[in-house]
Structure 1
Amino acid sequence: MENESQSSSVHQHKAQEQISHIKLAVITVSDSRTQETDSNGQYLLQQAQQKEIEVPLYRIIPDEGSLVAEALDQASQIADVVLFNGGTGISKRDTTFDILSQKFTKPIPGFGELFRMLSYEQIGSAAMLSRASAGIYQGTVVFCVPGSHAAVQLAWEKLISEQMAHLLWEIRR
């Protein structure tokens, strides 16, 4: 186990040395949010700026499957990492997970597992309602997280920002 931990640490260090410039697309999936009320989008833009991550695309789209697919195609052409927030629940209108999971060429199941574990520590058994996920699509790392501000913050601070460079390094080597 120690060798595996050391290997991961070495990879993460190499990744941070070699992946110095990251482009992040932020897509909020919501039927009600606007640029003025999208606290998740504003939070992610702020976090990206602090980490000197370029954001070539920020969009708010309604929770419509065709628009989610279109946004993924657009974002994957100009970004290294795409972060969708919203539309991951289990209601009829929640389509983000359904669309993205079909598009992933390589799922990253550990992301959703870890997100739900961390979420469980904060909100208890309601964490099982989340369909947070991640995967690779056309050489781009894609995350989809719930639309609550606490969920976006948790995913960004505990998982995504820590592993972005490492994930990119892994898929490019």
Structure 2
Amino acid sequence: MGTDAHRAAAAERGPVSLGVVTVSDTRTPDDDSNGLWLREHAEAAGAVVAGYRVVRDEPDEVRAAVDELVSAAQVVVVNGGTGISRRDTTFDTLAGMLEKTLPGFGELFRMLSWEQVGAAAMLSRATAGTYRGAVVVSVPGSPKAVALAWEKLIEPELAHLAWEVGR
């Protein structure tokens, strides 16, 4: 079965359930533009938003949010905390949780980021993988990075990702 057949089979399964986690020491649900943008675009793509959380960049909070959302969502998009500053712990937290990694996601994200930010793309630790029957995708917290990841990588393969992890 080729990729086109996989996508067709995935589309027949109905809407994808999606969770959104914003990792930020400063954002709240009232001013989380990335979380709002992701939820609006997910719904426009036909997905059902199964949960949304804003958590501080603390490993226990990130872990708890992902643990909660994978029970309700086929795909969880985490934004924020992927850089290399002292407070950026999302990648490290998820690296200890992911059961299967999707190295191609991070590679493609950095390749596409190169076109926007040049060599600074190497500072991103965007990643993806499977965890407890869901796909978890982690992207930087800048609005441009969130839009790039969603528009070029996540949304085009959303149903396919959900179908693959669920079969």
Q: TM-score range by the shorter chain?
A: over 0.9
Moved more, 8-17 or 153-162: 8-17
Q: Counterparts of 1:56 and 1:13 in 2: how far apart (Å)? A: 23
Once the two structures are TM-superposed, the CA of residue 52 in structure 1 deviates from its matched residue by: 2.6
Q: After superposition, where does 1:29-40 map in structure 2 within 5 Å?
A: 29-40=23-34
Aligned residue among 50, 53, 64 for 1:59: 53
Q: Counterparts of 2:25 and 2:6 in 1: how far apart (Å)? A: 40
Other structure's SS at 1:58 match: strand
Q: Counterparts of 1:172 and 1:37 in 2: how far apart (Å)? A: 34
Structure 2 letter corresponding to 1:39? S
Aligned residue among 5, 15, 38 for 1:10: 5
Q: Counterparts of 1:98 and 1:7 in 2: how far apart (Å)? A: 34
Alignment correspondent of 2:17 = 23
Displacement over 6 Å in runs of 4+: none
Structure 2 letter corresponding to 1:11? H
Q: Which runs of 5+ in 2 are unaligned?
A: none
Structure 2 letter corresponding to 1:9? D
Q: Counterparts of 2:156 and 2:61 in 1: how far apart (Å)? A: 29
Moved more, 49-58 or 59-68: 49-58
Structure 1 letter corresponding to 2:129? G
Once the two structures are TM-superposed, the CA of residue 56 in structure 1 deviates from its matched residue by: 1.9
Is 1:73 aligned to 2:73, yes or no? no
Q: Counterparts of 2:99 and 2:42 in 1: how far apart (Å)? A: 26
Q: Which entry has the higher C-alpha Rg, 1 or 2?
A: 1
Other structure's SS at 1:27 match: strand
Once the two structures are TM-superposed, the CA of residue 7 in structure 1 deviates from its matched residue by: 1.8
Q: Deviations over 1:4-57 (max 9, x none)?
A: xx922222222222x312111111000001222211011011112212311121
Q: Deviations over 1:120-150 (max 9, x none)?
A: 0111000000000000001100000000000
Structure 2 letter corresponding to 1:7? G
**Percent pairwise identity:** 53
Once the two structures are TM-superposed, the CA of residue 171 in structure 1 deviates from its matched residue by: 2.2
Report how many residues are paired: 167
Q: Counterparts of 2:84 and 2:111 in 1: how far apart (Å)? A: 18
Structure 1 letter corresponding to 2:141? G
Q: Which runs of 5+ in 1 are unaligned?
A: 1-5
Alignment correspondent of 1:150 = 144
Aligned residue among 107, 118, 128 for 2:122: 128
Is 1:91 aligned to 2:90, yes or no? no
